[in-house]
Structure 1
Amino acid sequence: MFRNMRRKKQMLSIEECISVFESGTSGVLAVLGDENYPYAVPLSYAYVDSKIFFHCAKSGHKLDAITNSNKCSFCVIDKDEIIQHKYTTYYRSVIAFGKISIIQDVFKKKEALKEIAKRYSPRHEKGRLEEIDKLFEKVFVLELKIEHMTGKQAIELVNKNTLK
């Protein structure tokens, strides 16, 4: 169902892919938008146990697209260093593929919001919980259940890591 990577030597392990998701601060969600045009939107997120959580408004292009097709991908770029004199880029990124849905269960929604808030404001628990309570009814929480993920890095990074 999912394609195999051509340049297997540059492929990240599952553990490395998870590490990128855990350390990244934003990514780009891609869905099938209006008139079958791709729609890609940058989002904050939390990765937890092979799932990615997002919060969003209760209406808009993203939700319309998800209603029409729950298949999506989510990309996080971990490294993007331009090496001018070599005419190349040292990169590392991960893409997750899966199905996305709105969390309906109130308890699960609250727990997902706590994970997202903790990720971006780890030392402010009281403020996080107050913000969640204040906005709880105004937002949806989306859950991407990962079916496949793949990561890749520049060959120069592979070679650098093998020399260590």
Structure 2
Amino acid sequence: MFRPMRRIKQLLSEEDTLAVMNRCTNGVLACLGDEDYPYAVPLSYVYFNEKIYFHSAKSGHKIDAIEKSPKVSFTVIDEDNIVSEEYTSYFRSVIAFGRARIAEDGEWFEAFKALVEKYSKDQPEENRIKEISGCNHSHIIAIDIDHITGKEAIEYVRAKNKK
């Protein structure tokens, strides 16, 4: 169903792919927007329980697009180092394909807690829980992942192989 990566030597292992998902703090959600134009929006996320979660207002372009067609892709760029003398960039990125949906009640709290942990771990737990409990005016969107791959520049692959 999903295309195999053409440059298979550059495929990240599952472990490295998930490390990128856990390390990065933002990505780009792509879905089918108004008039079937692609709609891509940057957002903060958490990879938790083998799903991608993000916070959203209860209405707007993103919610309308997900309700219209839940199939989405989500891209995270871990590195993008320009190497001008080689006319290239050394990169590492991940792309996931899946189906987006509004998280259910119990899942909502656990996912929101994971988001708050990721971005506000330095705040007292009591404050984090209070923030979550007071935020009933928003959705947590879950992406149930159907396919995920990571890829890195061939230069990074060669450097690893030299070790």
TM-score by length of 2: 0.97
- Spell out, residue by residue over 1:2-26, the C-alpha distance to the aligned partner (whole angstroms, 9 max, x if none): 0001100011111111010000010
1:122 maps to which residue?
Answer: 121
Q: CA deviation at 1:126?
A: 2.0
2:147 maps to which residue?
Answer: 148
**Equivalenced residues, count:** 162
Write the distance in 2 (CA, Å) between the matches of 1:18 and 1:108. Answer: 21
Write the distance in 2 (CA, Å) between the matches of 1:161 and 1:73. Answer: 29
1:64 maps to which residue?
Answer: 64
Q: CA deviation at 1:86?
A: 1.2
- Spell out, residue by residue over 1:29-61, the C-alpha distance to the aligned partner (whole angstroms, 9 max, x if none): 001101111100011111012101111000000
1:42 maps to which residue?
Answer: 42
Note if 1:107 corresponds to 2:94.
no
Does the residue aligned with 1:74 lie in a helix, a strand or coil?
A: strand
Write the distance in 2 (CA, Å) between the matches of 1:107 and 1:10. Answer: 38
Unaligned runs of 5+ in 1: none
Paired-residue identity, %: 51
Note if 1:27 corresponds to 2:40.
no
Paired amino acid for 1:55: H
Write the distance in 1 (CA, Å) between the matches of 2:107 and 2:32. Answer: 26
Q: CA deviation at 1:161?
A: 0.9
Does the residue aligned with 2:134 lie in a helix, a strand or coil?
A: helix
Write the distance in 1 (CA, Å) between the matches of 2:121 and 2:93. Answer: 24
Q: CA deviation at 1:84?
A: 1.2
Does the residue aligned with 2:25 lie in a helix, a strand or coil?
A: coil
- Spell out, residue by residue over 1:106-164, the C-alpha distance to the aligned partner (whole angstroms, 9 max, x if none): 221111100000001112222211111221x1000100011101111111111011111
Note if 1:54 corresponds to 2:54.
yes
Write the distance in 1 (CA, Å) between the matches of 2:28 and 2:127. Answer: 27
Structure 1 segments (4+ residues) deviating >4 Å:
none
- Spell out, residue by residue over 1:78-120, the C-alpha distance to the aligned partner (whole angstroms, 9 max, x if none): 111001111110000000101010013x221111100000001
Write the distance in 2 (CA, Å) between the matches of 1:77 and 1:126. Answer: 33
Unaligned runs of 5+ in 2: none
